[in-house]
Amino acid sequence: MKKMISSALIIGLLSPMIVCAADSASAAYSVHIRSLAASCAACHGTHGNAVSTSNHGDSTPALAGVSKADIIAKLQAFKSGERSATVMHRHAKGLTADEITALAEHFSMQVPYNPVILEPQRLRADHAN
């Protein structure tokens, strides 16, 4: 009986530590997913809000607010080669199924907005040559 009580006590004392360990593991995973998502920003814009400019014609598609299922389906199609692409087949091949799901969730939750299109910087006449 004494042994049972002390086991219960140990479990009771340890369980918050186990919960903390699980929390920090998921926090690390979330940092990992946010880092991956940041790598998409170079082409898909900040938080998935792609900038469309006349210079680039039809720019890279926006991801912000697109449904999770839609993003998963598209990334899996790039990964399997079912959908041809200029660059996305390469990116998608480097992602695991879990990462695809988490990225899709991340971008589906971003608020879509029309990003400000920056004017190209003009060269001063004395810098032109």
Which residues contact ligand HEC by CB under 6 A?
A: 36, 39-40, 42-44, 60-61, 63, 71, 74-75, 85-88, 91, 103
Least CB distance to ligand HEC at residue 60 (A): 4
Q: Give the whole-angstrom CA distance, residue 14 versus residue 8.
A: 10
Closer residue to ligand HEC in complex, CB, 3/72: 72
Least CB distance to ligand HEC at residue 104 (A): 8
Q: Give the whole-angstrom CA distance, residue 125 versus residue 118.
A: 21
Q: Which of 77, 79, 70, 55 lies closest to 104 in space, CA to CA?
A: 70
CB contact at 8 A, 63 and 111: no
Closer residue to ligand HEC in complex, CB, 18/32: 32
Instruction: State both tokens at 55.
Output: 């210079």
Least CB distance to ligand HEC at residue 18 (A): 32
Closer residue to ligand HEC in complex, CB, 69/117: 69
Least CB distance to ligand HEC at residue 88 (A): 3
CB contact at 8 A, 113 and 49: yes
CB contact at 8 A, 69 and 107: no
Closer residue to ligand HEC in complex, CB, 6/39: 39
